[in-house]
Chain A
Amino acid sequence: MRHAVRAVIGGLLAALCVLLLPGAAVAAGETVQGRLQNAGEALEGVTITVATVDGQSVGEAVTDAEGAFVIPVPEAGDYVVTLDEETLPERVAIREGRSASITLPVAVDQQRSVLFPLGEGTRNVQSDLDRLPQLAVEGLNFGLIIALAAVGLSLIYGTTGLVNFAHGELITLGALLAYLFNVTMGIQLVPAALLAVVASALLGGVQDRVLWRPLRKKGTGLIAMLVVTIGLALFLRGLFLYQFGGSTAPYDDYQGQTGYDLGPVTIAPKDLISMGICIVMLLAVAYALLRTRIGKATRAVSDNPALAASSGIDVERVISTVWVAGAGLAGLAGILLALAQQVSFQLGFQILLLVFAGVTLGGLGTAFGALVGSLVVGIFTQVSTIFVPTELKNAGALAILILILLVRPQGILGRAERVG
């Protein structure tokens, strides 16, 4: 019982630390917001206007590099949101027979999302096949980021059996900490990101120490712990929202880069560097697992904790290490993701299921499986936009997860369970 009390108090303290961070300008009140995308590509420079139903204009915005826009409205009520079709890129248009004006109610304190029915413009000349290389590269980039987060999730599952639904919040935490250092405190993004990764890793270790280790000692069941992770995820997400507000915001550096043209593929320098960082980090993890003492110990613990413990491995130390490394990797994934998109309080929550899909596809608890699974998920998500509407690409990836589990219930690289 005393351990549990300590666990909760510790958790609260950790939460308080985050609470004390100065947040971004809190978006108070009602907004209309959205993100213009066509076939996975953000549409920048499109004008959106908002008016009351009696035609009185209340606001206007131009979409940013990510295609996002946020327009505050004075109070709850019905508004007409209009997209200026003149400002759309040439090959994109409002779909046949649909209107560029949408009337919608905004509730008290609601951040109302608007989705415009965009489609291919009539002058679009790019065929599906031409988009393939571009999408594949974008998918690889996305998959690598997912992999960073997935490896940590998988290692934690492998060594402790914990299915961590709060892993998404570790991802968000990294992005938010980097935002704090970069935007609020004015440190250049590279050192800010380094600081944020280190802080994420430390907080991961703290989380294990004050919450999960005491619960393990107490002999709390895995399913009970799974439910605890859900509580933690809800709590942290609420905390992030409280602190950061519901809007999205970019980092100060590396915005609006023009892409390199590499044959059929256009890629922004920051995306190239992001991919480079991911690959280096993943190789480092692989090396650590295969060659270092602690890595081998980690694999031994994943394989059979009782046997590992009896052969002299300090299981708790392995688990601590895994938490520190896993949280650091997740934080890094969050920063890179926020660099590609923007920072938001639910950045991690939104990709959590894809991370799980990656981990599960590969086989729960096998780190290399998580890597393979994540790349499959990332590339599939992007490339599938050739066949399915962009808004359904995540649904497609999740469907693939279910289909693969049908054929291989233990995942791609997983092992069947023992009976009896």
Chain B
Amino acid sequence: MDWSLILTNALTAMVGLDTVIFALAAIGLNVHFGYTGLLNFGQAAFLAVAGYGLAISVAEFELPTLVGVAVGLLGAVVLALLLGAPTLRLRADYLAIVTIAAAEIVRLLFRSVSLSEYTGGSDGLGRFAEGFYSINPLGPGEYGLGPLEFDERQTWVLSVGWTLIGLSCLLVFLLMRSPWGRVLKAIREDEDAVRSLGKNVFSYKLQSLVLGGVLGCLAGFMTAWGRAVVQPDNFSTDTTFYAYTIVILGGAARVFGPVVGAAIFWALLSLTDNILTQAKSAGYISDSILTTFQIGQVRIMLVGLGLMALMIFRPQGLFGDRRELALDAR
């Protein structure tokens, strides 16, 4: 077994595209769930709307990339308002069900044959990312960071991605130590109390939904550019579930929690994938136990088990403060 390759791959995964996408999605979700206590299970829909908004504008209507980005952002805001207006008055558990349903509607629409003229149906859309790569200031070649190596396209995507992560974290940091953030956290604790103190709870929840949705929409852009194609099944409910795992792993309501969570999450998955793959090719694991094809399934199982174990044994995340969580009355 080539341990240095396994470790290099894990390190690459820590800063790689999946980490970038899921860190951004989770930063948004952290605003919803971690700070405001909104059980939004439709985060994938924000990614989808942004990704498709960008792809359709550029690929189908031949608009410039920047216009595509604007369309994606607008799409996320509109989705947040559409989703929030009817649902934010609902109880938390109803909200969870309605948001997951809404996200599934969005995915089914993008997938449908009837709209495939614009969306490409289940195959999705390509040929929209060149505008993004054409403004890459880096020349062709390999760019390295310690043992990690990326070509100029990857380096460009990752640089943009990590810049967005940095800016998002800064924004969340500033907001959450302001009186505005204090109202969100109070709503998480008990919204009736906040109402009784004269705050318009509905409006704040909607603002939170829009903010988290817009942050999640950045993840949608990174998905689109990084993969150079958008497909409806990139935005399934499992995407949202992974993002939840990441938020909880890093510690809910912590500014850098989602980033740390995403890096650890993808590094762990890369580790298990690589170790299993290598153990298989070295012949340590027989086909009757695990075929190469099944490695991906072991990974889903691990995510599931990990999420359960975290929630049961360390609900405050890897770095959170248990005492604080013990105060949680819910």
Contacts and interface: CB of A to CB of B under 8 A. Distances in A.
Nearest to A225: B311
Contacts of A222: 93, 330
B96 interface: yes
A276 interface: no
B311 A224 contact: yes
Contact of A113 (B112, B122, B299): B122
Contacts, number: 163
A401 B98 contact: yes
Interface string A243-282: 0000000000000000000000000000000000000000
Contacts of A237: 300, 304
Of A109, A117, A234, A417, which is in contact with the most chain B CB atoms at under 10 Å from its CB?
A: A234
Contact of B113 (A115, A223, A360): A115
Q: How large is the interface on B (under 10, 10 to 19, 20 to 34, 35 or more residues)?
A: 35 or more
A295 interface: no
Interface in B295-314: 296-313
B160 interface: no
Interface stretch (B47-55, B73-81, B82-90, B198-206): B82-90
B167 interface: no
B307 A409 contact: no
Nearest to B305: A235
B308 A395 contact: no
Given A231-B305, A235-B308, A392 B114 contact: yes
B112 A392 contact: yes
A11 B96 contact: no
Contacts of A233: 304
A75 B70 CA distance: 40
A239 interface: yes
A242 B301 contact: yes
Interface string B134-169: 000000000000000000000000000000000000
Interface residues of A, number: 58
Interface in A315-373: 353, 356-357, 360, 364
Contacts of A420: 192
A353 B104 contact: yes
A241 B104 contact: no
Interface string A115-134: 10100000000000000000
A239 B296 CA distance: 11
A26 B291 CA distance: 9
B300 to A, nearest CB: 3
Given A356-B101, A394-B108, A395-B109, A230 B93 contact: no
Interface of B: 39, 86-87, 89-94, 96-98, 100-102, 104-105, 108-109, 111-114, 116, 121-123, 192, 238, 241, 244-245, 248, 291-294, 296-313, 315, 328-330
30 contacts: A28-B293, A117-B116, A163-B96, A220-B312, A223-B39, A223-B92, A226-B96, A231-B305, A231-B309, A231-B311, A233-B304, A234-B307, A238-B298, A238-B303, A242-B298, A357-B97, A360-B97, A364-B93, A389-B114, A391-B108, A391-B112, A402-B86, A402-B87, A402-B98, A402-B102, A405-B87, A405-B98, A409-B89, A411-B94, A419-B192
